[in-house]
Chain A
């Protein structure tokens, strides 16, 4: 740190050497000064990214990935600093550079793309002007030159109609388009190092897939080195060459993506991979392997190996001394002293669901029926005269049988949350009815009798706001026990204790406040609260999407376990098809307020598929770099629910659109095998034939690689605006999901 090196040492000096390191991080420690003393957030990390290499940094939240990346380029908050080690960017010492020199490097030689695109763009400035700043500040261009450059960059990131986009403001662009703008901005100066910090986490699955395609394509063509930070192993498998797994501020394993995913040699990597729900595993098959416990705080690290307290293969030596990263294979390094034994341990058969404890035997009785539910929100101030209604839910029917799970999937904005809020009574539906065990329910929750309330409970998406921060965990669980459970007052503590045990939380937690719990623990409390009065139906609104991978796995396991012991039915809403597959018996696919495909879980994952389901499936990044899938991509974003496209609502984005009929007529429901129905103009046999080949790759066979893709039809995003709301008679009723109760359930 003391030697100051002239930052002008030519970065081009070693261009000839193909694997010249662009970013070298050596033994770096990063410390935050806090009121509770210094926090050693990153310790002894070394890594090296070569020209043209894309390095993926993965780990749970709190593992120090972002801190490391920001620390390396001196982009830390004022209380953070790099206290040890060396960082070089193509030979330039970054830690010795002055603030002024760094300011010139940021933007010019170091590009950054952040997580939330809407927060990274100034909402009061036209996108083009913002983009021009890069060229004007760092490349010394004139206003006109900069604009030319900006348009060129927007073209390069595949932005449709760049001339129009530069004149718009941030709120006029979708999240995916904004992220393209930011990538274009970061690439304007052709930086040597591009840091992408969770660039797709804030986006929808379908948008994520498109952005990842773009990133992958850019990586193939440029000479940048890329540091890609993500918690999603599937994303790493898609876009990275090398992967570094971080845990509690240290890199525990590193190596080429293909090698590490094929044969991870650190138990933490094994755990992360095991916690990801697979598209191939269904509800009855396997239990997800959750990593127990949580990341230690940087000021309370265990002695020896930092992963030891959570490690399934820990031995006494692990706790004795801190292990170092050692070479374990070509390019692969692991810090586990038992790395030799890791493959054997990972091969151990995954736990099969223990079904001996199943006590519930009432499967099959009908619990909930929703008939042609509609919810229109009054539009405000849009247009003159009578403002148009937002048709959030436009005729959805569904059935749930006792002890089963109905999964509802779709992109954000498709109406799935509004649907379940109407079922629970938090919103009053505009039309349609909700029947519980054959009895019609009042539309509003305030008019429903206790008896009905007791039977339907909800688990919400964000545990940070679903628990009252002022009440203790014990109070939070006790209240519904008293209110709905008809339990004598003296027995309430006993019941609270049982519930805490059921969600695997220690009894002592009853005295804690929510802020003293981690995200996963909070969600367990929320689940305990939902189960307090022994409900018949629990509606889960994206219950795991705000949580870490390893925590997601343990919550999915918990939900499945509770369902088996209590026979509770679930309506499980998520945008994550893999998670939905893991927990659901029946799946309904929603788009623009309607159902498009319904059926038993297994049927939803094999042809024939609705083209929308196909696109959703194809969009999921899979944590296996060996799998190459044919890509079905959706262009544009979900059309506004005010101006719903005519005919088939999906025609504006459908990659399999067959012609005018899609724009004119509402598609018919076509019944497939075993209660499986699809709403599409294309006959099922035809759909199946064109999809079978494409989907082979998803389940591991590499046959599909390089086969001719059915060329996606020109989808014409612009059509959305041109088409009128058209024939909306509301007569179309989706078929009943879960009809013929339970016949689809596998043999468990």
Chain B
């Protein structure tokens, strides 16, 4: 259609724009579900330790390997620890580690992608080939090698998650920058003698933000899974910390006697990842509405 709609007479306020976004979220049930799940887990991360009936390390010798009951909703483990309490305590860790890891990857990746895409030529070649090398290594293997050499700690896991996801973020940002940098408003900026740093930060970056936001949310869901996997492999936070991956690992050997030990932490990981995934897809629909039919 070749219709050009004349502009609205008044500038929509911030409030109206927010209302508009909510309106679009509401019409797409998966996004609402995703949002609900993520908010639920976020609340858990913030208030978990407060509302948990027990401390994550409390061992109740009289109640080992008990099934779900009014006393222990999600049952207890082999040391008599309350599974629900451990889940509630552990939520904060997974959010912090995966969140900071993603933030690091996004910051470094966006910077690299922006510079690489804008500068082009040998800078681009150099940066992208180096990132290709990182990409070509199996991520879990790379993470294990890195963590094996520096030792597992929250800080080190954050660094490893960051390093692993830098190439993906950088590639996405670069491809968007390559598109935007040929637009005429960038050429107009060059014609008035703007510096490269101004063009990158003020002309290009704001237009790459939607893509970056969608990519970040996707990376976050991957990071959650990676952190849980590392915990499972024993390379994450060490016992007795209530790490969800670690809980899954410990539960394996008791599966025939106490399957609830496995179900609840594994379920929590799955739910959170699916929730972030739905939300990320919803963001893509809202921020990049082209090509997505209602």
Contacts and interface: CB of A to CB of B under 8 A. Distances in A.
Interface in B191-211: 191-194, 203, 206-207
Interface stretch (B2-10, B141-149, B279-287): B2-10
Contacts, number: 87
A222 B129 CA distance: 61
B190 interface: yes
Given A66-B2, A465-B183, A516 B192 contact: no
Interface in A526-580: 526, 529, 533, 548
A229 B131 CA distance: 52
B14 interface: no
Q: Would you list the 6 A-B pairs with minimal beta carbon distance, nearest first?
A: A466-B184, A460-B184, A470-B206, A516-B7, A468-B185, A62-B3
Contacts of B185: 465-468
A469 B191 contact: no
B18 interface: no
Interface string B256-275: 00000000000000000000
Q: Give chain A's interface residue range (CB within 8 Å of chain B).
A: 35 or more
A15 interface: no
B192 A480 contact: yes
A62 B2 CA distance: 6
Nearest to B182: A465
Given A62-B5, A460-B184, 13 more contacts: A61-B3, A115-B2, A297-B5, A424-B191, A445-B190, A446-B190, A453-B192, A453-B193, A471-B206, A484-B193, A517-B7, A518-B7, A529-B188
A469 B205 CA distance: 12
A256 to B, nearest CB: 26
Contacts of A480: 192
A611 to B, nearest CB: 34
B23 interface: yes
Contacts of A425: 191
Interface in A12-70: 35, 61-62, 66-67
Contact of B1 (A67, A465, A466, A526): A67
Interface string A179-207: 00000000000000000001000000000
Contacts of B187: 426, 458, 460
A458 B188 contact: yes
A516 B188 contact: no
B16 interface: no
B108 to A, nearest CB: 23
A171 interface: no
A699 interface: no
B28 to A, nearest CB: 12
Contact of A468 (B1, B6, B7, B203): B203
Contacts of A450: 193
B191 A456 contact: yes
Interface in B87-106: none
Contacts of B2: 61-62, 66, 115, 198
B121 interface: no
Interface in B123-167: none
A453 B193 CA distance: 7
A296 interface: yes
Contact of B4 (A461, A469, A518): A518
A395 B280 CA distance: 53
B190 A479 contact: no
A556 B189 CA distance: 24
A484 B184 CA distance: 18
Contacts of B194: 483
B184 A518 contact: no
24 contacts: A35-B23, A62-B5, A66-B1, A295-B6, A296-B6, A297-B5, A424-B191, A426-B187, A445-B191, A445-B193, A456-B191, A458-B188, A458-B191, A466-B183, A468-B185, A469-B207, A470-B207, A479-B192, A480-B192, A483-B193, A511-B11, A518-B5, A519-B4, A529-B188
B4 A62 contact: yes
B193 A448 contact: yes
Interface in A351-382: none
Contacts of A458: 187-188, 191
Nearest to A467: B185
A296 B203 CA distance: 33
B231 to A, nearest CB: 40
A297 to B, nearest CB: 6
Interface in A240-280: none
A457 interface: yes
A173 to B, nearest CB: 24
Contacts of A295: 6
A156 interface: no
B33 to A, nearest CB: 21
A533 B207 contact: no
A424 B11 CA distance: 35
Contact of A460 (B7, B188, B207): B188
A512 interface: yes
Interface string A460-492: 111001111111000000011001100000000
